[in-house]
Structure 1
Amino acid sequence: MNAKPLWPPRSHALKLLQKIQKHESPVELDESPVELVYMSHERWPCPPLPIHPQRKLDTIRVSVLDSSFNPPTYAHLALANSRPPRYTMRSGLTGLALESTVELDYDARLLLLSVRNADKALKPGDATYEQRLEMMYLLSKDISASVSQLPEDTSESAHANIAIAIIDEPTFVGKATVLRQFLRARISGLYRPSSALDRMMTPPTSGDISTPGPRLTFLIGFDTLVRLLSPRYYASEAAMMDALRFFFSPVGDDCYVVCARRNMEEVEQTVQAEVEARTLSAAKEFVESERVALIGIGDDEQTSSSQVRTKVVLQDETWRRLVTSSVANYIIQNSLYTSAST
């Protein structure tokens, strides 16, 4: 494999990064704080093929995997491949249980890299943003974007409705607003009811065709859920609840969150047990309203990017088991994470 994957040249990604990292107001510059770096097809996020015949296309459901991707791991892959869950509540906080059933997949997927993180800044030894975008591209090729209603022998391009983007916004609440505005404008510009494709996507019995709107589901790890529900990222606890209620409200940003569960045996053995319980307590309102779902991704996929970086520094070759082969090759060929400063 070449060190530089075959996708938009690094100079193109660098140009977009420099553009979005400008400190001037995007409104004054008439620029968006979101830039698409890669799309699997030019009509993304609109489905490239006809949707399920029993569903009217009034909403385009986009899963958003927002991470530092430093580097992408099997946990990222498992989350990206997860399907929209259904769940029920059992009585009592410790009795939270989720019953997942397979339903129609997301219409589109987005791998999102923020160039302004509320907690994390680039450190010496970290992968650069350009390198992270290249690894995200490799991850996108590892993601099985198959849709349940399509036959198994459908070509790969038909399944891969995925994009990679960068955003200049540090908080999830802020990202939701920015992404919805960006996607609504993009869909409006792409959607052509008179085209043959859109006639295929719309049931023949439907009346007037309206432009579908985006509905975002953020795919996150538990540490990110802790930050989402932590008052220190808001003006006050009351301000946090107001912001989150708007974030999840059908008349607000209408967002969902799907969070990977932690291995409970590991949690009970650490000081994080109290943080776990406090986070679940804060999330209870949104779990009950079916806006937050906890899912299992398997013990083998419960790994973090920091574990990979640490193992590389220690020359512990087991780090290769934590990432896909394409990402592992990229890390080796670019000599990433070899400095103890990571």
Structure 2
Amino acid sequence: MEAVARTLRPAASEAWRRLGPSLEQFIAEQQRFKLVYTSQPTWPVLPASCDRAHIAVLDASFNPPTRAHAGLAHMHPAAPPHHFHAHILLFSVRNADKGRGRPGDASPLQRLHMMLLLAQHLEQSDMQVAVALVDEPLVFSKSTLLHSHLRASAPLHLHWVMGSDTLVRVFQPKYYESEAALAHACDQFFVQEQSRMICAERSLTSVRGTAGLPGATHLAQATSPELHELLAHNALARQWLEQGAIALHPLDPDVARHSSTAVRRFLKEAEAQGMSHEDLVNALHTMVPAPVVPYLATAHVY
């Protein structure tokens, strides 16, 4: 992986070398939040006139990062200032459904490597990007953690960008002690912390990993029956949507169709078929951001 690290900017290359020790310290000390990379030493750098720091949070498993992850990061808020001052790529070492991970998944260190490569990709679009670890499975609790740990020259306004499948999970009662606990968490998140959610619809074929395979000619329609079922029958989710705290944002179907599931499936099939390195690289370029391609093509993550 040294060849991949050499393609990074100096600050990112140094962060790459520290990722292993940083992760080990995070786990050994049972830390709950840790910034492992920032694109600027004093991230986020805000305009002098800024009275509110609008930060986009891309909270995902990055198993691996795809063009859809990059597409989510490029979304903009509908309300002023219509842009984000900075972005956070956030990975939780503890998942509400999968616990600490499943066999066949990328390791936490491998995911951090790929998140750093995704950060480099986003910085090419003049984004200020941070990569962070968290040990908390639920979005509402993650927001409180970020507010308690992040420091900026203006009050934070966090915008959580996510696919529709994630939004549906956020409002599933099984993750909370009671409906009252979920309602309280929403009040803390949307009212007290002034956090927001921006959601891009994902089709069933995208979620299942059948839409983004190389050579697929059908572009998955950006519509989610589960999301519309949620908004039709879950009064709490509908309330925050109607109040503007949750916004639905269209995503290019050619981008939205990609999924980590499809990439993992493709890589396993490519290895089984003995696909040439050139064909492997060409196919990966259609599925993941360019800086991630050489890592997946050589690291045998899956």
Letter in 1 for 2:158: L
Which structure is higher in helix share?
A: 2
Letter in 2 for 1:253: E
In the aligned structure 1, how far is the partner of 2:123 from the partner of 2:77?
Answer: 15
The equivalent of 1:310 in structure 2 is: 265
The equivalent of 1:253 in structure 2 is: 193
Aligned pair partner of 1:65 in 48, 54, 58: 58
Tell me, yes or no, if the aligned pair for 2:95 and 2:101 is still in contact at 8 Å: no
Tell me, yes or no, if the aligned pair for 2:123 and 2:129 is still in contact at 8 Å: no
2:82 matches 1:107: no
Q: Which has the larger radius of gyration?
A: 1
Letter in 2 for 1:291: A
Bigger relative contact order (CA 8 A; separation at least 6): 1
In the aligned structure 1, how far is the partner of 2:204 from the partner of 2:24?
Answer: 42
2:20 matches 1:17: no
Helix, strand or coil for the counterpart of 2:103?
coil
TM-score, normalising length: structure 2: 0.80
Q: Deviations over 1:132-152 (max 9, x none)?
A: 111111111211575xxxxxx
Tell me, yes or no, if the aligned pair for 2:94 and 2:101 is still in contact at 8 Å: no
Structure 1 pair 141–23 and aligned structure 2 pair: CA distance change class (3 A): closer
Letter in 2 for 1:119: D
Letter in 2 for 1:336: V
Helix, strand or coil for the counterpart of 2:97?
coil
The equivalent of 1:301 in structure 2 is: 255
Shifted more, 70-79 versus 309-318: the winner is 309-318
In the aligned structure 1, how far is the partner of 2:117 from the partner of 2:144?
Answer: 28
Structure 1 pair 238–278 and aligned structure 2 pair: CA distance change class (3 A): farther
The equivalent of 2:71 in structure 1 is: 78
Letter in 2 for 1:244: C
The equivalent of 2:298 in structure 1 is: 333
Q: State how many pairs are aligned.
A: 268
Structure 1 pair 310–265 and aligned structure 2 pair: CA distance change class (3 A): closer
In structure 2, the gaps of 5 or more residues are 208-219
The equivalent of 1:163 in structure 2 is: 130
Aligned pair partner of 1:177 in 136, 139, 144: 144
| Percent identity for Structure 1 against Structure 2 | 34
Letter in 2 for 1:335: H
Tell me, yes or no, if the aligned pair for 2:120 and 2:291 is still in contact at 8 Å: no
**RMSD in angstroms over aligned alpha carbons?**
2.7
Structure 1 pair 58–129 and aligned structure 2 pair: CA distance change class (3 A): same
